[in-house]
Structure 1
Amino acid sequence: MKTITPGSALGLDFGTTNSVAAIASADGATDLVEFTGPEADGAVFRSALCFWHDEDARGGLAVEAGPWAISEYLAYPEDSRFLQSFKSVAASASFESASVFEKRYRFEELGRLFLDRFVAHAGGGLKERPGRVVVGRPIEYAGARPDPALARQRYDAMFSGFGAEIHYVYEPLAAAFSYASRLADPARLLVADFGGGTSDFSIVQLAEPGAARRCLPLGHAGIGIAGDRFDQRIVDRLILPMLGKGGSYQSFGKILEIPRGYFADFADWSRLALMRNRRTLDELRRLQRSAVDGDAIGRMIAVIENELGYPLYDAVGRLKRALSTDDKAHFHFSGAGLEIDADVDRSDFESWIAEDVAQIEATLDRALAAAGTRESEIDRVFLTGGTSLTPMVRAIFTRRFGSDAIMSGGELTSIAHGLALIAREDDLAPWAS
């Protein structure tokens, strides 16, 4: 197993859905950090946390992360709090803390707990603190009004003490650095990185191997729309109508629409688990009593109280992945009195995400403009991230650049690999952000 040694550096892709690390050794080798144990899934570590009561744990709450968090949740769902996609709130000023049982955790506290378990499950691979850590960051953070300065402040607090030096690099630039290691000829490269929370684009000029500066960033752009937004569209169409969306309630003799904020939070993986707090549940119970269809609100309450966020996420993810390969797929979810079975055509799904895909393509145009580059000047296109496998997204690039120019691979690991390669550079200034 590869381990941190004197002179080693670490590249860390802290992702909305998954996190991956790679070690760059002083001898020039770069290796992914593998996790050990029956729940481990190679080098991919789910960006999730699970809390549960344990009187022997510090503060009375035990915590796990990654696939171990999923395992703990599945074993005891009703006495667990399962948080996922919490990176999505890094730049949100409206997010102050998460209520977990009787405790509240700020973003950086959640992040440090996550890193502690990440290191623990690396089987000694991260036993020693690395001298230099290069962390990926999106070009634009997720959220309606993302505050990059706030995100940096929270990241700094999260990673404080993780390494002797902490540097941040745009994620698609790291993917470009990774891809450059495969090429023998100069090229102008477009990197499109599609994660859970953001879609980012960078245009990079690649020099020949051995050049003093192999990669020259030319321009970039990003948007807080990606896989989780597509999930929200599925939840909105298939699930929320069963939970009261579009319904009404009575108030002082008037019929009013049920506030949409509850449904927006429910469809957001980073916020769904946080709805299980006394204030929100009391509001929903009052709404249930005055709603025209109180049973629908009752089903929402039941899903929240029974901690069904993960199985719901899993069902939505399975549908989305199936529609990446098949023209039609079946959606099934069952729990807490909510039963949904539906056949979904890919064409229907694509109509649900059409507006989002149009915004993603407009962001690509902004990246090309920022780089002063025409489509015809792009030699290669490297697609990475799980959402790059969505046919409607991939079609943007085949239509505009031709299928021969498109390359992919390492959808979940290329950024960590590139970050580790950058960590070996003597001068990080051209890459740091």
Structure 2
Amino acid sequence: MRPALGLDFGTSNTVLTGVDASGQATTLTFGKGAEEVDSLPSVLCFLEPGRTEQADARADVGPWAIRQFLDHTGECRFLQSLKTFVASRLFRGTGIFGRQFDFEALMEVFLRRAGSHRDAPLDAGGARLVIGRPVTFAGGAPDEALAMQRYRNALSRFGFSDVMFVYEPVAAAFAFAQRLEGSATVLVADFGGGTTDFSLMRFSRDGGRLQAEPLGHGGLGIAGNTLDYRIVDKVILPHLGKGSQYRSMGKTLEVPPNLFSNFAHWHLLSVFKASADYRDLKKMLPYCIDEDKIELFIELVETDQGYPLYKAVSEAKARLSFAEETEIRFAPIGKDFVATVTRADFETWIEHDLQRIDEALTRTLDQAGLQAGEVDQVFLTGGTSFVPAIRQLFARRFGPERLSGGEELSSVAKGLALIGAREDARSWTVAE
């Protein structure tokens, strides 16, 4: 087998898996000792450089970036969910301490800083690199060709001589198929931060070697971050002035709601902070009827509270997978701020999102010419797969006895690396 690396560059987390010449797959770690992690939060923090330093001289990633952001008292830029920009023509880059960074430059900085937290650089050893991509990219009008070109441009700055792209749910399906002893038709539903992806595959074994026939793929740009947003929209944003009004030229107008959406969609916050819309909001402040709320909103943006809020909301969503209700406490809104969120309310807020996921699943089955009863196994992966309403959707379709899970954060990267180590790896890749 050929040595291979599988890179799951995710919206929320990034995972790297390696396969050696013996075929053994291992999730690679970053950091050492108590700081060692095998899932790297997909965040970047740029501290203000010294006079003679480059703009990215003090950049860091993952938990080290989060620590910089929380502990540093000077100027910094905190970026998260980079992947959500890759297919957007509207995103042409962002200025950071006097230098313009396009998507490729940001991805390069992220990967190089990630490599600095390992004993060996990412491009060492001549391994084949297999990187995952969603079936459907996130965003309102995603440009798939642009996304792939940006990925290729960023990766070309490293020393990899052989780079392949594989659909993320195909990789997860391949990892799951290692458990199969016989033939089976498998549906993989991969719930990431930015996208939900489906893959239908027919697996069989010939002389002990795993064979696969792709039957259909599908997906949509709704996943974990969208569900988080529903909580923020209903629980947090009313306290920050959403739905409030301002006076202008003798008229009473609503404060543009899209301004609040930028705060709740974490990946937009850093760009929003430097935007004309945000400057206009600050000018609007004296004319706002709920001036205190808008002032609080501006303060949260100025102090980069998007990530701490994201963390608090994501943790609350996770607790709702195992409890009927939970509390969200977020001191930057007020030291006594607490809001109770019930699972019943949450499921009402995400009802339309669940419907769209169900419709995308129907399209995937129809494309493959399959009925639900013809699917032998359903593998649910990604953190959002724990949401009870998500699992119930699949249980109603396929029966709870056919649902499987496990390796929710590592299955994609593991499958990518295992595919890369095969002689027929090209047959699994996305046509370019």
- Mapping for residues 285-364 of structure 1, pairs under 5 Å: 285-335=282-332, 340-364=337-361
Q: Which residue of 2 aligns with 1:184?
A: 181
The secondary structure found in structure 2 opposite 1:324 is coil
CA distance, structure 2, for counterparts of residue 422 and residue 353 of structure 1: 35
Q: Which residue of 2 aligns with 1:284?
A: 281
Matched, 1:136 2:159: no
Q: 1:223 to 1:338 in 2, by over 3 A?
A: farther
Q: Which residue of 1 aligns with 2:412?
A: 415
Q: 1:58 aligns with which of 54, 71, 74?
A: 54
Q: Which residue of 1 aligns with 2:101?
A: 105
Alignment RMSD (CA, Å)? 1.9
The secondary structure found in structure 1 opposite 2:301 is helix
CA distance, structure 2, for counterparts of residue 335 and residue 78 of structure 1: 19
**Deviation for aligned residue 1:153:** 1.2
Q: Which residue of 1 aligns with 2:111?
A: 115
Question: Alpha-carbon deviations, 1:359-396, whole Å to 9, x = none?
Answer: 11111111111111110000001010010011110111
Of 151-160 and 68-77, the range deviating more from structure 2: 68-77
Q: 1:75 aligns with which of 71, 89, 93?
A: 71
Q: Which residue of 2 aligns with 1:94?
A: 90
Mapped contact 2:108–2:157 kept (Cα < 8 A): no
**Deviation for aligned residue 1:142:** 0.6
Residue type of the partner of 1:229? Answer: T
Q: Which residue of 2 aligns with 1:48?
A: 43
Q: Which residue of 2 aligns with 1:3?
A: none
The secondary structure found in structure 1 opposite 2:337 is strand
CA distance, structure 2, for counterparts of residue 322 and residue 387 of structure 1: 12
The secondary structure found in structure 1 opposite 2:213 is strand
Q: Which residue of 1 aligns with 2:20?
A: 25
Of 422-431 and 317-326, the range deviating more from structure 2: 422-431
Residue type of the partner of 2:109? Answer: L
Question: Alpha-carbon deviations, 1:59-83, whole Å to 9, x = none?
Answer: 4751000111111112116532211
Residue type of the partner of 1:308? Answer: Q
Matched, 1:392 2:389: yes
Residue type of the partner of 1:158? Answer: A
Q: What stretches of structure 2 of length at least 5 have no aligned partner?
A: none
Percent identity reads 42
Matched, 1:16 2:11: yes
Residue type of the partner of 1:370? Answer: Q
Residue type of the partner of 1:45? Answer: L
CA distance, structure 1, for counterparts of residue 77 and residue 56 of structure 2: 14
Q: 1:250 to 1:111 in 2, by over 3 A?
A: same
Question: Alpha-carbon deviations, 1:229-256, whole Å to 9, x = none?
Answer: 0111111111111111111112211111
Q: 1:62 to 1:44 in 2, by over 3 A?
A: same
Matched, 1:223 2:210: no
Length-normalised TM-score, structure 1: 0.94
Q: 1:169 aligns with which of 163, 166, 173?
A: 166
Q: How many matched pairs?
A: 428
**Deviation for aligned residue 1:340:** 3.0
Mapped contact 1:19–1:44 kept (Cα < 8 A): yes
Q: 2:81 aligns with which of 57, 80, 85?
A: 85
**Deviation for aligned residue 1:339:** 5.8
Mapped contact 1:77–1:307 kept (Cα < 8 A): no
